[in-house]
Chains A and B, each alone.
Chain A
Amino acid sequence: MPEHFVGKPIVRVDAAEKVTGTAIFGPDVVLSGMLYGKILRSPYAHAKIKSIDASRAWELWGVRAIVTGDDFPGILGGEAMKDLPFLAQGKVRYVGDPVVAVAAESLEIAEEAIKLIQVEYEEIPAVFDPREAMKESAPIVHENHHQYQHIPVMKPVPNSNIMTVSEFSKGDTDQGFAEADCVFEDTFYSHSIQHAPIELHSVVAQMTADGKYTVWVPNDGPHRLRKDLSDALKIPLTKIRVLSTYIGGGFGSKGGLKLEPVAVALAQKVNHRPVKIVNTREEEFSACVVKHATYLTVKTGIKKDGTITAREVTSIWDAGAYAEKSPTVCMQATAASAGPYKIPHVKLKGYCVYTNKVIAGAYRGYGVPQVTWAYESAMDVIARKMGWDPLEFRLKNILREGDENPTGQPVHSIGVEECLKKAADVIGWEKRKNAPAPAESYKKRGFGICCAAKNTKTPSGAAAVVLLNQDGTANVVTSTVEIGQGAKTIFTQIAAEVLGIPVEKVCVSNPDTDLSPYDASTTSSRATFHMGNAVKEAAEDIKKQLCNLAGEIMGCPGDDLIAEGGEVRPKDQAGLNKEPLPYKQIMMKKYGAGGTILGRGFYYPEVKTNGMWSAPSIFWMYCAHAAEVEVDTETGKVDIIKLVAAQDVGKPINPVTCLQQVEGGAIMGMGAAMSESLIFDNKGRMLNPTLHDYKLPTFMDLPDLESFIIDAPDQNGPFGAKGIGEIVVAPTMAALAAAIEDAVGVRIKEGPLSEEKVIAGLEKLESGQEAR
């Protein structure tokens, strides 16, 4: 029997490097002759640049380049909409907008130099709330933004701050609401937070004499970065080489154009020396990227028997000063904004709006945490008002195998019902009314349970090359970046499984866009599914070639042979009496002087568009979280007693790496719900851009956490696997808010779920008002 590697808890292949401190991350890159870059950023949210005087900075020894937006007139970058100058041109649009960059012999000199640069600004009116920004009277963040180049699905509204509107409808919601016995409408607010990976953003860029740029960077989309830079600089793809380091956590923040354009701008001016830029933690918070603050209005029609007849969701996304990935966040999340429920009539609309705030972009879940917060909170509000069990209400309407989801797509591989049931079972949902009361009479106990569904960007391509070496080992070459998700381990297992060789004989390399083939990005929970399929195909290609080569040696057709367990042998041993040939021997006999077998794989899902603005998702992810809390009615403090997370994984390639995502996601979701929040003053300045004032979960916040993986094999996934990395954070806030309401009757509709809001709600309850 051949040994199996898929489905096993193989030890992560990157673990040894990481526990010894030898893994190279972005800030660890050091090159000879390297200069250090520093950015002077705007202190104003919205201002015209009147003049820039860098003469005093030039006098400082060791300053090698000073660049401004004027050095790159008309050069604009951006994946969805080309609205991002390398450095501000004419005006600044948020506090933190890059204005001038310096390259110097040391970081200290660069820091000193930017202090000596004088910029004269003329402040102009700014807008900070996306609902205000949608009004006709609002200051315009980007004049004529509809004239920017943009992807076809975007619909910019001219002479406004609305960069795009995403719409989807199914059936007739007017009819659906007419058929309903009750209609509920509520508005929920999802607050802005920051990704806060522990690794700071960094880049090293060099322009060599042939006009080629090489960029060493922890960016989650090396080929996407190559294309973004190529588009902006109007040079061929071959003139840009992106080399990926390990990424020390990204959660959506480490993609697109961040420090790279500034580094490239400096690299043009320093006589071919490399330039390194590393963010400070303060820049990481206030001048990099954040999760969208979002207003979501959910209107739901229900029958008295608990059936949902119609749902309308309108969302408004605070995109900040530049488009970044906002247009596609708004688009994908809008499509997912009705939830994993069977609803015949659906109307979903998302407005993506510029404001004079730090850029918002992809945050783990790509807008789905925000929409989940709204539709799951709406489910609980309805269940409570109707006197229904929240779990039963969900199960009454939950999507099941073969149902049509709210975007009109029939669903397969759907484990959401099982996730809900598992989470309910472990949290003790049935017995919750009999749970012992907290010892202190001023504390109250409550339970909540929520689920979520997420799409993946579709279609998108992933290519892999597997190289079989003379000694029977294999190199796997892809452009998937190891960001902590375990991709290198997953590809190792897939290649080992298909080739039938031990995992120790497989080596997965970090991307290099000169050498590793195209991949859309290491995002959207797509690496295991898309690149996993490509690696599988490439390894199968090698086996086919090995059979043909062995057939030549054995004197029989390759089709009569099978490659398994590291050797090629006849399919029918009795009918064709030949000795099995190990891969190494085949290589020796055919290519004695040296050679390699190249296996090719390219996965690009074929999907039918059905008149929607975008293609349906090649797979959907599902999960459920349940929470048990104790609320202190005197202080408003919420103690999380237990969290349960159940995740539909399709089929696990590696159960441990799956559980790693589920556990980490639940705690990240908990932090987003309870303690993390970005605070701005009335001038658009962030007030808490440090890890001291911005409260990430620490070891002390760890509750009793139980995590489970649920099998629901996907017919298109490699070995039935699906992606999971983003959705794992989505339902936590809604589950915790439901548990708080269950405990003390206070329904919080605006995140975070702070002590102040609990107390304010309790005071309202005491005074006889509805607590909200």
Chain B
Amino acid sequence: MKRVPIKLKVNGQAYVFDAVPENKTLLSLIRDDIGLTGTKEGCAEGDCGACTVLLNGKTVDSCLVLAVEADGGEVLTIEGLSRDGNLHPIQQAFVDEGSVQCGYCIPGMIMSTYGLLQENPSPTDAEIKKGLEGNICRCTGYVRILNAVHKASEMMAKESK
């Protein structure tokens, strides 16, 4: 397998890799090389959304993106959301609304919510469902996640005022 050098920023911090195999996924780079295990693998083929991160401001399934495609890019993972020990409003809303059970899908769900609220700061029920349909949760039945997204939207609107 051919190996290539890449540079990227993850959660604002620069990383330099001298020889990344061309077939390595961004998910593997994040988990295995950088050591950030908050981003999860659930299927490795883009069906479950557990590996969702933001690449250059857009949500992607990191299992479907090659590490080399992220060369020169900026990645945001779940570990990059909280600042100075304070939860991001989306994280806080998921805690407050009881949206977390086993928690395995939650990092991906929160990153998809982040991407959704960036594009649409006050989504309707239907827009939330559509925006998060690629993230599968097996525990919650989605009800409280829906509530959390609304709450996060309100919290973020207040913050930006």
Contact = CB atoms under 8 A, between A and B. Distances in A.
Contact of B133 (A9, A197, A668, A700): A700
Contact of B101 (A9, A22, A664, A700): A664
A199 B40 contact: yes
A280 B45 CA distance: 10
A657 B97 CA distance: 11
A28 B36 CA distance: 9
Contacts of A698: 133-134, 136
A484 B139 contact: yes
B26 interface: no
B100 A248 contact: no
Nearest to B125: A702
A484 B106 CA distance: 12
Instruction: For chain A, give the interface size range.
Output: 35 or more
B3 interface: no
A511 to B, nearest CB: 16
Interface of A is mostly: loop
Given A248-B104, A690-B43, A197 B96 contact: no
A708 interface: no
Interface in B131-161: 132-146
Interface string B70-97: 0000000111011000010001001110
Contacts of B47: 281, 690-692
A649 interface: no
Contact of A198 (B44, B45, B104, B134): B104
Nearest to B97: A656
A196 B38 contact: no
Contacts of B110: 19
Nearest to A698: B133
B37 A20 contact: no
Contacts of B38: 20-22
A664 B77 contact: no
Interface in A13-66: 14-25, 27-28, 30
B2 interface: no
Contacts of B60: none
A251 interface: yes
Interface in A177-208: 195-200
Contact of B44 (A280, A483, A663, A696): A280
A19 B99 CA distance: 10
Given A12-B98, A19-B94, A664-B101, 10 more contacts: A12-B100, A14-B103, A15-B100, A17-B103, A19-B91, A195-B138, A249-B101, A484-B139, A666-B141, A700-B130
- Going nearest first, the 3 A-B pairs with the smallest beta carbon separation are A21-B38, A484-B102, A248-B104
B48 interface: yes
A660 interface: yes
A20 B101 CA distance: 14
A197 B87 contact: no
A359 interface: no
B128 interface: yes
A198 B141 contact: no
17 contacts: A15-B103, A18-B103, A18-B106, A19-B91, A21-B37, A195-B138, A198-B136, A198-B137, A200-B42, A249-B139, A484-B101, A484-B139, A663-B140, A692-B47, A700-B129, A702-B141, A702-B143
B106 A19 contact: yes
Contacts of A660: 98, 101, 139-140, 144
Contacts of A699: 128-130, 132-133, 135, 142, 145-146
B84 to A, nearest CB: 13
Contacts of B130: 699-700
B55 interface: no
A199 B42 contact: yes
A2 B150 CA distance: 36
B105 interface: yes
